[in-house]
Structure 1
């Protein structure tokens, strides 16, 4: 297949996911308003802002394509979509919606099934983030999570995750004298393992590690990661505020979609821990939501996000200074990027 045809196929593939996500949100919102109406506190989005969002999405997909052409990862990763998981779990998404609507309407933010153990977790973690059933603490939640996030972002979640791969690969050149098999990379709050799967495509020989608070999500991650070639990443249940690793152990650390779901104190504690475990000369890369400082024109959408979904710490996150937090921990030469609805901070530990 020619590059032009492959690119057109990729663009069509992403466009199809985008339309599907929009259709799902439109239909589900109308059903919610009929079955379980709630007070609407969201702000209408001006047409000009919608055009900005569409252009940002187009730019994201172009960068995604170009990184595959530069050899950061293979073209096959662009089409990484499990149809088996889709047909298996999409009906569950619909069956679960009435519970989500009821939870949102009654502001039940710590509503867990009887079989879910909530003891021993930080209080900020025992939440029904996004109003989702069982928060992050059940197999049902873990099975539906990736599909729900893809729908939320119109099929662009993986493309946003992949934006960490180019700076990760490029900054590991600092350790050019280290054999690839001896490189160690940690993904903090690895969830279902989607980011580690992408990292494996870029660093096929490195030793990969992941931590997460949720046993259910770690089970899902093990299931996903055991199916791909290469050494299976080492996964541990751990609080990211107390990482169970030696000082200066990793050549790079990543974290994707974590910090907007943390109170400020926990954000700083985790950044401090990431500084501790990364080697001098190593890199810490954050991918998370855009903030007002880098995307002021999208501030109405940010407000709508925490009004629509249960995101108890997002309002503070919107204006939090992550660069200052990284500098406070000791990181230097901090670069920021914005792609679509996500921002990236690439921070370096002094050599």
Structure 2
């Protein structure tokens, strides 16, 4: 069950006030993210001036479009909560303990990231990290992160880094998978809720699994990820909150350790832009294999050129400013074609803020 604060239990908050509170909460996170980036950039330039990066100027008209998109996703988030896709209390969920514990560490780590970016050190890991058993494309300092995805240090800072990057909208973007997920699962209404199985591929720190559990508290949840450190963080996050603990496994999405047709739904959030093209296709094919006929596969990832051409300068700058070696190909890749090639049907797409969603069915026959 989703917990609520004692104040909410004693004094119900009117919907209009709750909505205003939520909007203010999100705006506060956005302003904090902007202030953090502006201040740290100025300070780091004083300490260690950054090598000039060949980024394209962002046209002035793009900024109001971004603000409009952010307002739209905040409104969509509120509307989904209001109609019961997930509890309203989820909207105010924030990892405050992690924020106060790790934000000072994140600020210190920013200097290492800055220096690594300046010196173009893209494959640098601590000497105590075992490097065997991972695909070569995974051994990268994605976003110039210290230790890539392979240390507890990285896992502890990741959610804060993503929140700052997206101005506090990371969870609202993740939550956009929940409405189509619940809608698709109506195909299995005759199945007891406890027997509904959902897999999150590349579950990372467990944020998406936590949100799915908020919306579908009785479902049996599963998660796989290549990083043992991120799985430890996911286990910590999911243990701290009420609900059954999902089954987490270290595994590659290209070779899922499950039998055919096992899951009623499969999800993947913010994975595909960090995969080379061949790996994207294999993950899609494996997701098709493990999903039941009539089941759904939902992808949430970055926008692409085909759906957001007006934001082309931002997409082109992203892979230049951050170490995202496969992003340039991703933004022109045809994911619908890849899903169709794997056997999925009834493929639909949506765009919310900086994220794109693909919802695909595995046919009954």
* 1:115 positional shift: 1.1
| Structure-1 separation of matches of 2:112 and 2:356 | 32
* 1:235 positional shift: 0.2
Q: Which residue of structure 2 aligns with residue 27 of structure 1?
A: 39
Q: Does 1:146 align with 2:159?
A: yes
1:78-106 residue CA offsets vs partner (Å, 9 max, x unmatched): 01102111011000111111111111111
Aligned residues: 351
Task: Pick the aligned partner of 1:50 from 47, 50, 63.
Answer: 63
| Structure-1 separation of matches of 2:304 and 2:41 | 26
| Structure-1 separation of matches of 2:114 and 2:75 | 36
Q: Which residue of structure 2 aligns with residue 124 of structure 1?
A: 137
1:250-289 map, 5 Å? 250-289=263-302
Structure 2 unmatched ranges of 5 or more: 1-12
| Structure-2 separation of matches of 1:58 and 1:174 | 32
1:122-146 residue CA offsets vs partner (Å, 9 max, x unmatched): 0000000000100000000000000
* 1:31 positional shift: 2.4
1:169-227 residue CA offsets vs partner (Å, 9 max, x unmatched): 00000001000000000000000000000000111101000000000000000001012
1:151-300 map, 5 Å? 151-300=164-313
SS in structure 2 of the partner of residue 242 of structure 1:
coil
| Structure-2 separation of matches of 1:38 and 1:239 | 36
| Structure-2 separation of matches of 1:344 and 1:6 | 28
Task: Pick the aligned partner of 1:333 from 346, 354, 365.
Answer: 346
1:30-80 residue CA offsets vs partner (Å, 9 max, x unmatched): 223332221131222122100000000000000000000010000111011
Task: Pick the aligned partner of 2:102 from 86, 89, 93.
Answer: 89
| Structure-2 separation of matches of 1:109 and 1:309 | 10
Q: Give the superposed CA RMSD.
A: 0.7
Q: Does 1:17 align with 2:13?
A: no
| Structure-2 separation of matches of 1:138 and 1:227 | 21
| Structure-2 separation of matches of 1:99 and 1:225 | 30
SS in structure 2 of the partner of residue 338 of structure 1:
strand
SS in structure 1 of the partner of residue 298 of structure 2:
strand
| Structure-1 separation of matches of 2:99 and 2:285 | 38
| Structure-1 separation of matches of 2:320 and 2:41 | 14
Structure 1 unmatched ranges of 5 or more: none
* 1:308 positional shift: 0.7
SS in structure 2 of the partner of residue 344 of structure 1:
strand
Question: What is the TM-score of this pair, normalised by structure 2?
Answer: 0.95
SS in structure 1 of the partner of residue 185 of structure 2:
helix
SS in structure 2 of the partner of residue 40 of structure 1:
coil
| Structure-2 separation of matches of 1:60 and 1:131 | 28
| Structure-2 separation of matches of 1:173 and 1:331 | 18
1:98-109 map, 5 Å? 98-109=111-122
SS in structure 2 of the partner of residue 232 of structure 1:
coil
| Structure-2 separation of matches of 1:234 and 1:287 | 21
